[in-house]
Amino acid sequence: MSPLAELLRVTAVTKRFQGVEALADIDLAVQEGTVHGVVGPNGAGKTTLLNVMSGYVRPDAGRIELAGRDITRLTPQLRVPLGLVRTFQNIRLYGGLTVLENVLLGQHTRARTGLRSLWPFPTPQERALRAEAEAALELFELAPYRSRRAAELPYGLQKQLEMARAMAARPRVLLLDEPAAGMTTDGRHALVERLHELRGQGLTIVVVEHDMDVIAKVCDHVTVLNFGRTLTEGPPAVVLAGDEVRTAYLGT
Amino acid sequence: MSPYAEAVLLQVGINVLLALGYWIAVSTGKYSFGHAAFMAIGAYAASILTLNFAWPLPVAMLVAAVVAAVAGAVIGWMALRLSLLYLAIITFIFGQLVELLFAQWDYVGGATGMIGMTGTTLTLVYSSIAVVVVYLVLLTRSRLGLAYAAIREDERAATASGLRITRIAVGAFAASAAVTGVAGALAAHQLMIITPSLFGPQQALLIILYCVLGGVQYFWGAAVGAIVLSVLPIWFEWLNDWYMIVYGLLFVVLMIVRPQGLIGRSERSGGGPLLRRLRRDGAVAVEREREPVG
């Protein structure tokens, strides 16, 4: 596999909601091992694009490919085992379950989960997964809250837990929907570091984000959307300095 | 043991089985309003086998479980993809339909039902409970049980974790129906006589109440609910026709004081639930007043 292979490809995707074009003929190619930012003003179609990639919204036209395989018609559940995993803008945790259980559920597609999982003595595979979940709690600084219910965690830790749960699926591509939203300055710094770390491990990341500072610091490539169309794309230093972005955001 | 005590223990045991069976479906967050139908299916399936084919009851119980499970899977497949309201309506109608179907079916005696089934013993009832309890203990510690809980908590999050929700929920529904079918078979062979109307909406409601009264957080909460609701009518026999009213009041009080049921922890912490809710609503009202205008 060449380091710059296209891992995720969106081709000519169009989506209308009651006549309004949320996405109009969007093309987007995410290179393996890079962090790809999607920015744009409110209503530009960023989240719709993420929903199309993850399978929550079916496009009216166009294709989505993951590592060359057409996944346009796959449900979200079936994209997870292929390595496409997402987080949500409004965190969606299993609030009544413990922090550890949330991470264990992230491993769902990698574990034995049918009636056979009732067997009381864990298989070596299951033991390895449990150990991995504990390690993930350490890594995401959630170990002290291991047995707390997820709903009891403060906001920042909930965001961290959601990412830990997503990573537990061992994604090839991680789709993040506004990971910096609502974070404190410290939280943003930690997020930037975390994303650098994950990228260093070879993970491919698509991040929809409002915070230009975060985008500038973590992205290798940025796509700017406005009114459902691609306005411009390229390296963040070039794109974010360009007139198109200012025009899109300020409207003049 | 006196025949009276035995009858009580049989009744309580069968109701516990009903509650445990229902709990399996409820643990995925799906409430059925027609579970009495699975009871009927189990009761009739087993009675046909023991009466008309002279099968031993334990074998007939197993067949009853399988037939009820298949029915549960079919109904689940149709209804579990829909919203909770549609699930409630479809399962309710299914219950009515099954009742009607048995009433029209001459082979099983139509509205007059079947008569002469015997063989339900304490051993049979309580070993069935033991099997189900072992299953539930293993289930709640397993990844399958965790998947049930995930679906109950947040379906959207569950799809993002790659859970195939419909498949998992249908499985739970089928298992739930199987246990309910076994309870039906045992009930039929204790009552000696069954009619379709025994398995109507009232029975369906009773099964729900066992779980809701006991609390749905842990399976043994549902069992406690079944025991309490089976013994109460005996204690309150002197109330005669008034006992339904007392029941109703009891439930209203319970839902206010302990909305999570007899067993189980409260969703929020600190203070009594009612007090807390009053306080919280008050806080919300204050918050609204503070909101800036425009």
Residue A88 in any domain: the answer is no
Residue A116 in any domain: the answer is yes
Closest CB from B142, B161, B165 relative to A169: B161
Window 253-282 of B: residues touching A by CB (8 A cutoff) are 267
Quote the CA–CA distance of A94 and A76 in Å, as a whole number. 18
With an 8 Å Cβ cutoff, are B160 and A166 in contact? yes
Closest CB from B147, B157, B171 relative to A92: B157
Q: What is the mean pLDDT of chain B?
A: 88
What is the domain count for chain A?
Answer: 2
Helix H or strand E segment including A57: none
CA distance A148 to chain B (A): 13
Domain range for A50: 1-83+171-252
Work out the average pLDDT over B242-254: 79
Work out the average pLDDT over A135-143: 95
- Render A229-252 in DSSP notation, one character per residue: EEEEEE-HHHHHHSHHHHHHHH--
Residue B278 in any domain: the answer is no
Last residue of a domain, one of A145, A166, A187: A166
Chain A environment of B141 (Cβ under 8 Å)? 120
The pTM score is: 0.89
Domain range for B172: 3-237
Last residue of a domain, one of A115, A141, A166: A166
Q: Are residues A152 and A177 in the same domain?
A: no
B290 close contact with A: CB closer than 8 A:
no
HEC string of A189-228 equals: HHHHHHHHHHHHCCCEEEEECCCHHHHHHHCCEEEEEECC
- Cα–Cα distances (Å) from A31 to A120, A195, B133, in that order, read 43, 16, 52
Given a cut of 50, whether residue A181 has pLDDT beyond it is yes
Q: Are residues A157 and A207 in the same domain?
A: no
Residue B242 in any domain: the answer is no
Q: What is the pLDDT of residue B92?
A: 95
Residue B280 in any domain: the answer is no
Q: What is the pLDDT of residue B286?
A: 44
- Per DSSP bridges, beta strands A221-226 and A61-66 are unpaired
Residue A47 in any domain: the answer is yes
- List the one residue out of B234, B235, B215, B240 whose CA is nearest residue B225: B215
Query: For B143, which residue in chain A has the nearest alpha carbon?
Result: A113
Percentage of the residues of chain B whose pLDDT score is greater than 70 = 90
Chain B environment of A118 (Cβ under 8 Å)? 135, 138-139, 142, 144
Which pLDDT band, with edges at 50, 70 and 90, does A250 fall under?
low
B151 close contact with A: CB closer than 8 A:
no
Which tens digits make up the pLDDT trace of A2-39? 455 899 999 999 999 988 889 999 999 999 999 999 99
A81 close contact with B: CB closer than 8 A:
yes
CB B39 within 8 A of CB B203: yes
Residue B275 in any domain: the answer is no
Work out the average pLDDT over A225-246: 86
Q: What is the mean pLDDT of chain A?
A: 92
A166 close contact with B: CB closer than 8 A:
yes
Q: Are residues A250 and A181 in the same domain?
A: yes
B279 vs B249, higher pLDDT: B249
Residue A203 in any domain: the answer is yes
User: ipTM, 2 decimals?
Assistant: 0.91
Residue B260 in any domain: the answer is no
Residue A89 in any domain: the answer is no
Q: Are residues A175 and A51 in the same domain?
A: yes
B144 close contact with A: CB closer than 8 A:
yes
Which CATH number goes with the domain that contains A7?
Answer: 3.40.50.300
CB B136 within 8 A of CB A140: no
CB B25 within 8 A of CB B152: no
Which tens digits make up the pLDDT trace of B258-285? 878 888 776 544 444 444 555 454 444 4
What is the domain count for chain B?
Answer: 1
Which pLDDT band, with edges at 50, 70 and 90, does B244 fall under?
confident
Interface A-B, measured as beta-carbon pairs within 8 A, has a size of 86
Chain B environment of A92 (Cβ under 8 Å)? 154, 156-157, 160
Closest CB from A77, A106, A115 relative to B144: A115
Q: Are residues A242 and A137 in the same domain?
A: no
Chain A environment of B218 (Cβ under 8 Å)? none
Residue B255 in any domain: the answer is no
Chain B environment of A76 (Cβ under 8 Å)? 159-160
